[in-house]
A and B are shown apart, each in its own frame.
Chain A
Amino acid sequence: MTSGGGILGPRLLISLHFPAGPDGVRHALLTVDATLHAEGISDDLRDRTQIALAEACNNIVEHAYCDRQGDNPSITLDVASDRGGIQITLRDKGGPMPNGQLPGAVFPQIADDDPLLWPEGGFGWPILRSMARALSMSRCHGQNILRFRLPGVDDPLQSRQKAM
C-alpha cells in the first residue's frame, strides 16, 4: 500500500470467475452485493458498486468479447475493502480497447423537446467513469485488467462536474 492506505491495506472480500454473458454478470453482481451486505457496507456504496460493476462487466461482454463468443469467454473479478471504499479489479481475455483509450468522457446529449431523438445507448462508460475513481486499464499477456475504486462516501461535486 502507498501512503493514505489503512493499517491493514486492502482486504480481499470476494474473488469470482464467471462466464462473460448476461446471466454470469447478473449472478456475479448479486453475489457481490450479498457479500458487501454481509460486511455491513452502506446501501449507498453497495448501489454505486452495483452500478459501476454492471457497466464494467457489460462492456467486457459487449466489446472485449464481441467476436469471441465461441471461446468460453469469462471474467475474473476481485472485490476488496480499502480505506472505507471498495476496490474492484476485473480481468478478461477479450480484445484490447480500440486506440487504447478509455471512452465515455461525456454523457450523450438529450434533446428535451423531442423524445424520439433521445439516445438509447452510449451511457455505459460515462456512468462507470462518473461513479469510479482512480480508474485504469492495462493490458498484459493478452489480458485486459480494469481497476477502479468506489470511495466510501461519494464526491457529489466531482460526479456533477463529470456529468455536465
Chain B
Amino acid sequence: MNMDFESRPMIGIMKVRENRIDSRVAIAFKDRFRDLVSGSGGDVILDLSRVDFIDSSGLGAIIAVRKLLGSERQLELAGLQPAVNKVMTLTRMHTVFAIHTDAEAAAAARGAAIQATS
C-alpha cells in the first residue's frame, strides 16, 4: 500500500498514494497506517486527494484507523474526491469527521492556530 506519513509538530499528514481503498487493500491500508503512525503523537490529517474511490471495506478501514488513534487524538480527512465524498455523505460519516478541502491548508490553519494561542 503506497502511503507516506509526514510528522510535523502536533500534527501528521498521512498521504494515500493509491487510487482506490477497496476490499482488495483495506487490510493493507490499516496495517500501513498503524506502522507509519507508531511512535508519533498528535492528530492526523488523512490526505485522500489521490483516492478516486472507496467502498464499504475502505470506509471500514478508515473508521478502524480512526479508532487506532484512540480518544486523545483526532483523525481529520482532506481532499475528498466526488465518489469518496458521496460515500461519506450517504453513510453520515461526514457529520462526525472534520473534513478539509486541502491537507496543506488544514495543516497550515492548525499551525497558525497553535502559534496564535502560544
Contacts and interface: CB of A to CB of B under 8 A. Distances in A.
Contact of B96 (A23, A29, A47, A112): A112
A55 interface: yes
Q: Could you tell me the dominant secondary structure of chain A's interface residues?
A: helix
Contacts of A58: 23, 55-57
A14 interface: no
A122 to B, nearest CB: 8
Interface residues of B, number: 28
Given A43-B82, A110-B92, A121 B60 contact: yes
A19 to B, nearest CB: 12
A126 B89 CA distance: 13
Contact of B91 (A23, A116, A127): A127
Contacts of A61: 23
Interface in A34-55: 43-44, 47-48, 50-51, 54-55
B83 interface: yes
A155 to B, nearest CB: 13
Interface of A: 22-23, 25-26, 29, 43-44, 47-48, 50-51, 54-55, 58, 61-62, 107, 110, 112, 114-116, 118-121, 123-124, 126-127, 130-131, 159, 163
Given A47-B53, A112-B95, 15 more contacts: A22-B22, A26-B24, A44-B82, A51-B55, A54-B55, A58-B57, A110-B93, A110-B96, A112-B96, A115-B63, A115-B71, A116-B67, A118-B66, A127-B87, A163-B91
